[in-house]
Amino acid sequence: MKRNPITMITGAVLVILFLFMLFSYQVRETQVAVVTTFGRYSRSITEPGFRLRLPWPVEKVYEFDRRLQSFESKLFQTITRDQINILAQVYVGWRIADPRIFLERFNGDLQEAQRTLEPVVRNAKSEVLGTHTFSELVSTDLEQLKFDQVEEEMLSRVRQQAEVLYGMKIELVGIKRLELPESITTSVFDRMRAERQRLVALYQTEGDREAKIIRANADGQANEILAQARAEAIRIAGEAELKAQEYYAVFEQKPELAIFLLQLKALEEVLKERSHLILDAKTPPLNLLDGNPQIQP
């Protein structure tokens, strides 16, 4: 019986493909793999690409997702350092760091890994929050908040245990929710209100103290300026008296000249603006206008 060449070629290609799939495997960019030989660990594959293997049951390949995984813990109650009960929920981002440990510990089950990791995260959260006060978690003062420090401490506590025991690398740990139990919400708000009122009183006291200091400095500067002004006025008055004494000495020597100058000054003052006066021409200082003035005392 004659066989069709196309059928034979097709069959050969299928056999080759089957053998290729049987003796090789592919690890993608998003995967890591573990190869076991007769059920025992043989090697870990962390780089992508095609590789050869012996067919099952000699060798078996376990492939795991190496991308970042995330889960959120439940909302558990814990106590801060200042004895305030709070409810906290934490989120975690992790990826497979050691495929061998992950396979041996969880048989590659991601859900089982997260269920095992949750109590570790819960314990770390309780330990860290127990070393911080409530005001370091919830406050209107940004300098008091230590959220970043709290999350770093939780990450440090979880990371070492998870990588050594479970083959999981913890990339990040963060606080998603913070709540107060209903039974203590009112007392906490009253305490926060009292704290704000204490700060208000403190700021008012500091403001009054600063105002008194500023007012005292201003009064001191004003008194100093007034004292300088009085001293300057006394100096000017003294100089004026000295000048006046010099003029008086001259006038005593020539009284007629002094009378003439005084009359001339008076005339200048009278005629400074347009005026209508009816006076005797011999009345000083108008007698100076008749062309033959007589100096009268």
Indicate the domain borders of the chain. 11-65, 69-180, 194-253, 254-297
Supply the pTM of this predicted model. 0.54
DSSP secondary-structure letter at 287?
Answer: G
d(Cα 60, Cα 53) in Å, to the nearest integer?
Answer: 8
Which amino acid, residue 26? Q
Domain 69-180, second-level architecture:
2-Layer Sandwich (3.30)
Print burial letters for 85-112: b (CB count within 10 Å at least 16), e (below 16). ebebbbebebbbbbbbbbbebbebeeee
- Give yes or no for a contact between 162 and 117, defined as CB atoms under 8 angstroms apart: yes
Q: 170 is written with which tokens?
A: 């913890």
Q: Does 57 sit behind a cis peptide bond, omega within 30 degrees of 0 on the bond before it?
A: yes
Q: From first to last of its 297 residues, what are the pLDDT tens digits of the chain?
A: 456 677 767 766 666 666 556 666 778 888 888 888 888 888 888 888 777 677 777 888 888 888 899 888 888 888 888 888 888 899 999 999 899 999 889 988 888 998 999 999 989 999 999 999 988 888 777 888 888 899 999 999 898 888 888 989 999 999 888 887 776 666 666 777 787 788 888 888 888 888 888 888 888 888 888 888 888 888 888 887 777 777 667 667 767 766 777 777 776 776 666 666 666 666 665 666 665 555 444
Distance of CA 280 to the CA centre of its chain: 91
Listing DSSP states for 134-159 in one string gives GGGTS-S-TTT--HHHHHHHHHHHHH
